[in-house]
Copies of this chain bind each other. A is one copy, B any other.
Amino acid sequence: MNDHVHPTPDAFPTFADIENRIERVCARVPGSDRQPVLLKMLLQHIAGGLNSRMNEVLREYNLNRISFLALVMLVSSGGKPLNPSDLAEATGESRANVTRICDELVAKSLLRREPNPEDRRRIDLYLAPQGEELVQRTLPKIQNHAFSPFNDLTAEERDLLEAILKKLLGAFA
């Protein structure tokens, strides 16, 4: 989960400083363009900030971001199981890491593993009742505390952002 912005007292001082630096570097390096670098930095800082905030909330429940995401994905399946590799894909984590995360979740009785009867290479992951409960309790808190920065955008801006980010993500194929 190499994704944290360190919680310094003043973690987001002036992005303008960083922007100036980017301008200067790109002016000096031929073949470089300021905007993609800037966008990359913005995305990085925002994603990092959101992750930090999520972790702050989840710490009270002894969960980390990935474990929580795994639980959410399972809630979304509505009782149907998921395989570890599904989780790896959905979360963007390595499969080895997903195995470890699942070990933790099983140890906390939030998840249970069962062999898949049709394909015996596979393991089916079922959400335990406590896991569902935990998501019910924590997701609204995440929404309120961690995701509050989105409230500073207007509805139009959020829709626009959603559309542009979807298009951008599509470009990774």
Contact = CB atoms under 8 A, between A and B. Distances in A.
Total identical chains: 2
A3 B6 contact: no
Interface string A134-173: 0110011001100111111100011011101111111111
Interface residues of A, number: 82
B149 A172 contact: yes
Contact of A29 (B8, B140, B147): B140
A152 to B, nearest CB: 4
Interface in A1-33: 1-6, 8, 10-13, 15, 17-18, 20-22, 24-25, 28-33
Interface string A59-78: 00000000000001101111
**Residue among A30, A92, A150 with max Cβ neighbours from chain B (10 Å):** A92
A80 B78 CA distance: 57
